Amino acid sequence: MSDRSDTSHGPAAVVGALGMLGKAWRELLLKHEIQHTGLDLPTLDITDPGSIAEHIGKDVRFVVNCAAYTDVDGAEDQENTAHRLNADAVGYLAEHCKKIGATLIHYSTDYVFDGKADTPYKTDHPRKPINAYGRTKAAGEQRVESSGCDFLLIRTSWLYAPWARNFVATMIRLTRERDELQVINDQHGRPTSAQHLASASLALLEKGERGAFHITDGGECSWYEFACEIMRMSGNTCDIKPCTSEQYKVPAARPAYSVLDLSKTEAALGAMPDWKKNLADVIGQMEPQSV
């Protein structure tokens, strides 16, 4: 087990450093002057234990795993590929962290739950995924839990940032380009700013918290409500019409209700900022031509 009193001082390794969350983490660690290495393909292949051992040295105090197979619909036909990244590779990272005495911060998803609840999902709620992506992420959680490593397992949902491809950027573009859109109104969850997610994760690490936590923005909404607020804040004009999941056919089933319970996290860190506040912060950082 790592020494929790100094783990958060680094050095750190950010895996999947070129992705949306990886960039948020790199900016955060630079701000806090925490020594770190950003790792991604082709340098690091997390499906290869040898590559992990070569690039994550024994001096690393915590590893942030931002890498994942995230194509929810693609996973329906590519479940083996998704499983390799979301479960097998996660197991290799966890085993290596145990070996070198580092803490693993690993991210999972609201999609490990079936969406049939009517109150927010607590961290210890039984996993029951309804699509291939969710199954692979649930398997990754189990690999972390059984590895014996020191870990923070953080579930999140509906991730967005001022950069990279995400729902916020897509809605800004579409509401600028089109006169009319249909957006699903019968799936409810919590949006999450990648910057807020990284910051709250580091805060949990610094407090010595370990185990499973949920981090999202505060509040909840449907995709339709989220889209309408994005349009309003970006100053675009479009007729956004609500539709059902049945009307908007996609390969993978989605949970109808995937609101994550934040009580454990808020007991440690205080209230999570409302999603509208975080959304405004993110849109305010975007390039004018993107808005």
Catalytic residues: 133
C-alpha distances out from residue 76 to 68, 155, 192, Å: 15, 21, 24
Among 252, 257, 121, 133, smallest CA distance to 186 is for 257
> Contacts by 40-44 with C-beta closer than 8 Å and gap 24+?
40/15, 40/16, 40/67, 44/15
Longest CA pairwise span in the chain (Å): 56
Q: Tell me whether residue 173 is exposed, middle or buried, using C-beta atoms within 10 angstroms of its C-beta: 0 to 12, 13 to 18, 19 or more.
A: middle
Tell me how long the chain is: 291
Q: How many of the other CB atoms lie within 10 Å of CB of 44?
A: 20
